[in-house]
Amino acid sequence: MESYYLDWANLLLRWVHVITAIAWIGSSFYFVFLDSSLTPPVDEDLKKQGVSGELWAVHGGGFYHPVKFAVKPPQLPAHLHWFYWESYSTWLTGFSLFTVSYLWSATTYLIDKSKMDWLPWQAITAALLFLVVFWVLYDLICRVFGQRKNGDAMVGVLVFVLVCVASWLACHWFAGRAAFLLVGAMMATSMSANVAHWIIPGQRKVVASIKAGEPVDPIHGIRGKQRSVHNTYFTLPVLFAMLSGHYSFTYTHPQNWLVLIAMMFAGAAIRQFFVMRHGFKLGRNPNPLPYALVGVAVIAMMVVWLAPKPEPAQAQNASFSVATSADGTGATGQITYKTLQTVLEQRCYLCHGAQVQMKNVRLDSAPNVKLHAQGVYQQAVVSKIMPMTNATGISEAERLIIKQWFESGAHVD
């Protein structure tokens, strides 16, 4: 029953996490677009009020006219909306989901003993340290180099190097799927920390100064915008890391750390294109198309590099011979349920047997195997996700047995 309730917790947390992430990313993308699309005000009254930019837009049958005050408005409105619940809710639900999905079952999902033979508490501690240490180092880089001349470029280079090091370590210490997710969670944690420790506190100080009738220090707006821009560049890399868990050809590759770095770099480059294109239309920025082309080129290279290599005919025949004679009968052709059962007993019953039914799936009886035949084929043959981290040591010949059994009709007679 524990597995059943964990699945419900996973489903509900994932649902809420996606909803809040959509709200956060949507508002982040909108304000980056808005900031890049503002034009100097034409109306003299707006200029006198201190408006530095305005935008006219039409949406949903109405016209909108947002304006931006460079430092402060003439007076605070009665109702001021703050954008922070989207960030905090996304992080809280994401961390809860990470806990339920990976930390709670660290032995199954987080640890790959062929890489590091952790005890569960050691793997959990190391994973949590990734979240904390990355934020501390990233924040230090921003503090030291962010306010210098050409500091943004230096910060970008150093943060990229930091992400590369973290990706290499994660992929060499943890199971591939967990490593990709951990790097995404690490960057997402820093995004939310930017909101909690810099953006919102800076805005509160500005509001407090306005209420007190004191001069407003523009540094708060400068720092807030800097961290907000960092967040928008992190977004596409984080989304790739989160979604990659559904595509095992990425995280099971021998150089999976390089795959992760390349795809995150491509995402950041493509995001740069979207950030700059609005300014380009207004004549402020150079043509950003090269960034998009670089990102697409990197993705195309990954598609070619990760393509499965065709198996030589001789090797295919050898595997077929092993699979079709695995039950000792020497038969060639249809795989019997008895042959399949031998593989399931050795490789699958540990998590899907009488004692444990992970994901509410049980494979120790013919009716259940028939019921879950499609899932077994998809997970063990197509995506090769199962067994998780190949903890039970299934071989390619055994995967071929499952493949041939399913493709010959999935008979359990």
Q: Is residue 229 part of a domain?
A: yes
What percent helix, strand, coil does the chain show, rounded to 5? 70, 5, 25
One domain, residues 299 and 334: no
| Residue where a domain terminates, one of 305, 339, 369 | 305
Q: What is the pLDDT of residue 331?
A: 44
Q: What is the pLDDT of residue 324?
A: 53
One domain, residues 388 and 266: no
Instruction: Say how many C-beta atoms besides its own lie within 10 A of residue 370's C-beta.
Output: 13
Q: Is residue 36 part of a domain?
A: no
One domain, residues 289 and 197: yes
Q: What is the pLDDT of residue 315?
A: 47
Q: How many domains does the chain have?
A: 2
One domain, residues 166 and 103: yes
Rounded to the nearest 5 degrees, what angle is found at the Cα of 387, between the Cα atoms of 385 and 392? 150
Inter-residue long-range contacts of 234-237, CB under 8 Å, 24+ positions, other chains counted:
234/187, 234/188, 234/190, 234/191, 234/268, 235/25, 235/28, 235/29, 235/191, 235/267, 235/271, 236/264, 236/267, 236/268, 236/270, 236/271, 237/163, 237/184, 237/187, 237/263, 237/264, 237/265, 237/267, 237/268
One domain, residues 96 and 132: yes
Q: Is residue 67 part of a domain?
A: no
One domain, residues 258 and 397: no
Task: Tally helices (H) and strands (E) across the chain.
Answer: 17, 4
Contact 177, 185 (CB under 8 A): no
DSSP-derived letter for residue 215 is P
Rounded Cα distance between 34 and 331, Å, is 68
One domain, residues 328 and 370: yes
Q: Is residue 345 part of a domain?
A: yes
Q: What is the pLDDT of residue 398?
A: 87
End-to-end CA distance of the chain: 30
- Can you name the residues that pair with 357 across neighbouring β-strands? 352
Q: Is residue 83 part of a domain?
A: no
DSSP state string for 175-201 = -HHHHHHHHHHHHHHHHHHHIIIIIHH
One domain, residues 361 and 223: no
Q: What is the pLDDT of residue 318?
A: 47
Rounded Cα distance between 17 and 23, Å, is 10
One domain, residues 224 and 251: yes
Tokens of 9: 């917790």
Residue 216's H or E segment, with its range, is: none
| Residue where a domain terminates, one of 305, 321, 338 | 305
| Residue where a domain terminates, one of 305, 325, 341 | 305
Q: Is residue 353 part of a domain?
A: yes
Q: What is the dihedral of CA 242, 245, 248, 250, to 10 degrees?
A: 20
Residue 166's H or E segment, with its range, is: helix 151-173
Q: What is the pLDDT of residue 151?
A: 80
Rounded Cα distance between 192 and 198, Å, is 10
* Per-residue pLDDT tens listing for the chain (413 residues): 666 788 788 889 999 999 999 999 999 999 989 988 899 998 888 988 889 999 999 998 899 999 998 778 888 888 888 889 999 999 999 999 999 888 988 888 888 888 888 999 999 999 999 999 999 999 999 999 988 777 888 999 999 999 999 999 999 999 888 999 999 999 999 999 999 999 999 999 999 998 888 888 888 888 888 999 999 999 999 999 999 888 888 888 889 999 999 999 999 999 999 999 888 878 888 999 999 999 999 999 999 998 877 766 554 554 445 555 544 444 445 788 888 888 888 888 888 887 777 767 888 888 888 888 888 888 888 777 778 767 777 888 888 898 888 888 888 87
Q: What is the pLDDT of residue 397?
A: 87
CA distances from 172 to 115, 166, 251, 256 (A): 6, 10, 11, 9
Tokens of 31: 């304000």
Q: Is residue 366 part of a domain?
A: yes
E runs forming strands in 176-316: none
Q: Is residue 32 part of a domain?
A: no
Q: What is the pLDDT of residue 212?
A: 87
Burial class of 374 by CB neighbour count within 10 A (0 to 12, 13 to 18, 19+): exposed
One domain, residues 250 and 300: yes
Tokens of 283: 């004549």
Q: What is the pLDDT of residue 332?
A: 47
Instruction: Show the domain range for 318.
Output: 313-407
CA distances from 200 to 31, 79, 81, 223, 227 (A): 15, 16, 12, 11, 11
DSSP state string for 100-117 = IIIITTIIIII--TTT--
Rounded Cα distance between 179 and 190, Å, is 17
Burial class of 5 by CB neighbour count within 10 A (0 to 12, 13 to 18, 19+): exposed
One domain, residues 340 and 393: yes
Q: What is the dihedral of CA 55, 71, 25, 54, to 10 degrees?
A: 0
One domain, residues 273 and 320: no
Count of CA atoms in the C-beta half-sphere (13 A) of 381: 18
Q: What is the pLDDT of residue 61?
A: 87
Rounded Cα distance between 134 and 330, Å, is 56
